[in-house]
Amino acid sequence: MSKTNVEEWLQEDRLLILEGWARDGLTDEQIAENMGISVRTLYRWKKQYCQICHALKKGKDAADREIENALFKRAKGYDFTETRVKRKGGIVVEETVITKHIPGDTTAQIFWLKNRKPDKWRDKQNVELDGESKVMIVDSIPD
């Protein structure tokens, strides 16, 4: 890898690039490769230079929040409108607005609940029998 100077990555425009790469979902390894440095160097720079650490954290936080919101929306289900246009000879003759419903997705719901309420929704639960703690595997979702 070519010699890369940390000073160039501390400039505001370069910090925005780092933030964008993190927001796009790139791993630290991919970001380091894009920067022309080893991942070990990136880890060291993150410890030494709060600007780099902050830019990467800010980008990752934004991406995580966006995905969390999408998962929540998909788990609940949602409505959206679609506009259909009929044309004759390039002229709009009819425009119809249709509201469609996407039902909640049970896989997204289970994923959400297992992570948000693991004590109630995880597959493995600790159960006490005769004063001994035992692990019980639960095959179904609780009522």
Model confidence over 35-47: pLDDT tens digits?
A: 999 999 999 999 9
pLDDT grade, residue 2 (50/70/90)?
very low
Beta strand spans in the chain (E): 77-88, 91-103, 124-129, 132-137
- 19 near 34, Cβ under 8 Å? no
Global confidence as pTM: 0.59
Bridge partners of 86, per DSSP, are 94
Q: What amino acid is encoded at 49 in this protein?
A: Y
pLDDT grade, residue 126 (50/70/90)?
low
Helix, strand, coil in percent for the chain, rounding step 5: 55, 25, 20
pLDDT at residue 1 in the model: 44
Q: What percent of the chain has pLDDT over 70?
A: 84
